[in-house]
Amino acid sequence: MLKGPHAILDCKYLHLRCCAHIINLVVRDGLDEQFQSIARIRNAVRYVRSSCTRYDNFTECVQKLEISCKRKPCLDVETRWNSTYHMLEIAEKYEVAFNRLSSVDFNYRSYFRGSVEDDGEESTRKRKRGDRVAGAPKVEDWETARLVDEPD
């Protein structure tokens, strides 16, 4: 249908993106709307996964709270939106463990102090994926994770 007498420049410069790539772009734009919440949760998971000692402290919190999930918190891959979904799905199950970790691990609280504070320019400037977001995950961030995780 694209070739024929009415084709633009004989279709030499026409490129059709695959459907999966288009879906990925659409989902990424939607996830960017919730950038701060996702970034806070990502940073919490990154903290736990960055060393064995931190992961052991997190595991102690999980055991004390008797959380039955056997899956480890995982980081997402920027180019795969479904990995962000999996990261949020698993991290949301450990919400209370992350909250407990913030009260028992001083390093967890101090980890977020070096982050960029919200400068109030969120509506005028679009955040980049490399930007750091201040603070540990808040109640609102976990609510956002639950909304992303819920099927329609």
Range of the domain at 65: 16-115+131-149
Q: Residue 130 pLDDT more than 60?
A: no
Residue 61 lies in a domain: yes
For residue 58 the two structure tokens come to: 């997190």
Name the pTM for this structure.
0.74
The model's pLDDT over 72-93, given as tens digits with 9 standing for 90+, comes to 999 998 778 789 889 999 999 9
- Chain segment 27-69, per-residue pLDDT in tens: 888 888 888 899 999 999 999 999 999 999 999 999 999 999 9
Kindly state whether residue 111 falls inside one of the protein's structural domains: yes
- Residue 128's pLDDT band, with cuts at 50, 70 and 90, is low
Report the domain count for the chain.
Answer: 1
Please return the burial class of 35, using the count of CB atoms within 10 Å of its CB with bins 0-12, 13-18 and 19+.
Answer: middle
In a domain, 33, yes or no: yes
Biggest alpha carbon–alpha carbon distance for the chain: 71
Residue 1 lies inside a defined structural domain of this protein: no
- pLDDT of residue 95 exceeding 80: yes
Position 15: which residue type?
H
Within-domain flag for 53: yes
